[in-house]
Structure formats: C-alpha cells, structure tokens
Amino acid sequence: MAVRHCSQLFTIINATLTVSFTGATETVGMTVLTCMMVMALNLDKQRLAQEEIDRVVGGDRMPNISDRADLPYVDAVIKETMRWQPALPLGFPRATTRDDDYNGYHIPKSTYVFANTWYISREHNEKYDPDEFIPEQFLNPDEPVRDPWSYAFGFGRRVCPGRYLAEDTVFILIVTILAMFKLEPLAEGELTPKFTLTIIWSVIISIPVIFTDPRISYPKPFKCRIIPRSEAKARLILSKSMSAI
C-alpha cells in the first residue's frame, strides 16, 4: 500500500505501536504468571536463578535490561517457560494465497493454516523429557535446542512487530520478581499446574472493555507465597515504589 500523505504515515505508525503494546499484554502476562507458578514448583531451579542474579546484580539495586547478557540461567528459565507452556499453542491463523502441495498434502487456495506451536515446543529430544521443566537444556552449546523466541511470535514477514518489546518486558518482570521475592507453594503438594484457553469470565464481565482471546493459554488461578527475600530487599522494593508515585 502506497502512503501518500504524512498524516496517513502517522496513522500507520500509531497503529503499529498500538498493536505492539496491546498484542503483548495478554501473552506477556501469561508468560510471567506461568514462570511464577513453575518457580514455586521448582525451588531448586528458582534458587539457581537467584544465586546467579545475586552474583551479577548484588543486593543494593534492582536488575535492569543491561544485566541480561550476564544472566544466562535466568534467560534459560524464561526460554524454558515459553517452551514448556506456549502462550499461543496454535499460533495465529494464516491463509494460503494460492494452491500448494506440502509433504504429500494438497492445500487449496484460501485455506486457513495454523503453525502448531505446541507441537514445535514438544520437539523430540532423546535426552530431555519435553513435559518436564529443564532450563539447563538451553545452556549446552554442544546440543543446541530450538529457541522458543524463534517461533513464539510467528514466522516470516508476518512475525509479531512487538516481539522485541515483549522479550525485554518479560525479562525485566521475571528477573525483578526473582531478585526481590521468594515464591513457594502454600504447602507441599498444594500447587498443581493447570491451564485454560480462556481468561476468567468474571473478569471479562466486570470489566466490559477488556477482551479475551481463546487461543491464549493461561494458568488457572493458583495460590502461592510471595515473600521478600530479605529485609534489605523489602526496603528496596518500598523505596522504588515510593519514588515511582
């Protein structure tokens, strides 16, 4: 489409930015909630991530985006969260613009096609059980695993334009939570991972403006303890929250 007027270009830029922000709202929220759940279920993995954060960040500040390159285990935890429970198990639908043949299948023009993200995330691996949460599989350069960032946001020219914004947002939220808080189940055996493809309907009813997308996988409501890791961390949290007001 040719852009003839500056105002039209401004509208396109605004629309793209809006999609980048609003499109990531649910998927980012789902990924962070899932990571919180899985950290409460895997205290040993949580401890390893927190030890890495403490070594790199220290105790007198909160993490920032520039720390990411020095936090490979935290990065692996985020990747494994996305692989273990993809936010969009079936991705977004596409339509063929012409007849096509693929692996013995004839796909007529105008057929809806889904990239099965769930199947991709369950790629056969003789060493690791795909249904287990194992961040370490992303840390072995001799046995590379498909990076979830390569398929979680779509493919080709229609890849999500907000991918990098979402990537940075997910990182800073998760690393800050892990740096400041300990997550644990209320009691042993009380936290069971369960997911649904719809948001809680009471939320939709009470806030008419919000929308839901049944393609997005959400953790069902769960309970866990969220505890400041130390008094110093608690003071830092309060200080940052007060300065943000």
What range does the domain containing 216 cover? 17-87+133-244
Beta strands in 175-223 (DSSP E): 181-185, 195-196, 218-219
Q: Do 134 and 128 meet the contact criterion of CB atoms below 8 Å apart?
A: yes
Q: From the centroid of its chain, how far is CA 38? A: 12
Instruction: Decide if 43 is inside a domain.
Output: yes
CATH number at residue 214: 1.10.630.10
Neighbours of 28 (CB within 10 A): 19
Cα gap 86→34, rounded to integer Å: 10
Instruction: Decide if 114 is inside a domain.
Output: no
Q: Are strands 181-185 and 224-228 parallel, antiparallel or unpaired?
A: antiparallel
Among 9, 85, 73, CA closest to 44? 73
Instruction: Decide if 2 is inside a domain.
Output: no
Instruction: Decide if 52 is inside a domain.
Output: yes
**Residue pLDDT tens, the chain, 245 long:** 555 556 666 677 776 666 666 656 677 888 999 999 999 999 999 999 999 999 999 988 999 999 999 999 999 999 999 999 988 888 778 889 999 999 999 999 999 988 888 888 988 777 888 889 999 999 988 888 889 988 888 887 777 777 888 899 999 999 999 999 999 988 776 777 777 765 433 333 333 333 345 567 778 888 889 999 999 999 998 888 877 66
Instruction: Decide if 177 is inside a domain.
Output: yes
Instruction: Decide if 71 is inside a domain.
Output: yes
Instruction: Decide if 11 is inside a domain.
Output: no
Instruction: Decide if 3 is inside a domain.
Output: no
Instruction: Flag whether 35 is marked binding.
Output: no
Q: How many domains does the chain have?
A: 1
